[in-house]
Amino acid sequence: MPAGGPGLPRRHPGADLGLAHRRPGAGRPRPGARGGALHPRPGGRRARGDPRAGLHGVEPEGGVGVSAGLPGPADSLARWVLRDWAANAGYPDSRACLLVFRFSQWATARWGRPGRLVALVCQTLNSLALGVELPAVCPVGPRLRLFHPHTVVVNPGVVIGADCVLRHGTTLGNVVEADGRERGNPVIGDRVELGATCAVLGPVHVGDDARVGALAVVTRDVAPGQVVVGAPARPVARPAAVEEAGRGPGDDDVAPAASLLQVPREV
């Protein structure tokens, strides 16, 4: 018998959890994607910050919103918070900020319109207390680390993967043309580290394990494993896959710079 019963339309298995059925072709593989993960087209649902979209284009694990970076109504708020807190040991201000942020996501998923009002209050609280703008509609993967969480600005359309690091002064936002048109938002992969006061702007993709140096301005895609510095950002280290394949012409000039400009993993 259909799931909806006699005379009733068949419901998507994730309907009760606030998960939308993905339409065919909503995502497509991108070069460097791991495990067949799908990356949506620029300007698609995920680029607009739609909370129904899955992180990296895949449906949430177990139907509870884990992969999506957005707690679903059936999720345990404590589970999300404790994972973030474990990644931010020794940073009480970071833990407080992420507690407020995850609660705003959870409230939005669980309470609908009243939850969105709660999320607005939570976002204002973080903005006034720490200068952190982290909207509840942003899909943010687990174990986000905030080192010195002050003056961090994240546009509502941004997507952030799992195990990422944001430092003070980080800006992730769209680009507004002279005629007022907006050109999308960044998609940040897994295990990406962003240096202090860096800016990642426009519909760019920062690949898994990439690192962005302090003060860098990123307006183009960053390959997985790449290290970029400067304004505009330029690469100083080749992706791991290329390094394993062998050194090419000009690598002797790049290698010394890469060794000096590596972004530290802890501050």
> Which of 186, 191, 133, 142 lies closest to 164, judged by CA?
191
Report the pLDDT value the prediction gives residue 168, as an integer from 0 to 100.
95
Residue at 26: amino acid letter: A
Report the pLDDT value the prediction gives residue 41, as an integer from 0 to 100.
38
Tell me, what CATH number does 129's domain have? 2.160.10.10
Instruction: Give domain status of residue 166, yes or no.
Output: yes
Instruction: Give domain status of residue 74, yes or no.
Output: yes
Instruction: Give domain status of residue 266, yes or no.
Output: no
Contact 156, 139 (CB under 8 A): no
Residue at 219: amino acid letter: T
What are the tens digits of pLDDT across the range 80-131? Answer: 999 999 999 999 999 999 999 999 999 998 898 999 999 999 999 999 998 9
Residue owning tokens 């799908």: 38
Contact 164, 145 (CB under 8 A): yes
Report the pLDDT value the prediction gives residue 51, as an integer from 0 to 100.
37
Instruction: Give domain status of residue 132, yes or no.
Output: yes
- B/e letters for 2-13, b = 16+ CB within 10 Å, e = fewer, are eeeeeeeeeeee
Report the pLDDT value the prediction gives residue 107, as an integer from 0 to 100.
92
Six token digits for residue 153:
């600005």
The count of domains in the chain is 1
Sequence-distant (≥ 6) Cβ neighbours of residue 176 within 8 angstroms: 182, 183
Residue 90: domain span: 44-56+66-245
Instruction: Give domain status of residue 153, yes or no.
Output: yes
> Which of 238, 166, 174 lies closest to 196, judged by CA?
166
Instruction: Give domain status of residue 201, yes or no.
Output: yes
Instruction: Give domain status of residue 145, yes or no.
Output: yes
Report the pLDDT value the prediction gives residue 179, as an integer from 0 to 100.
85
In which residue ranges of the chain is pLDDT below 70? 1-75, 237-267
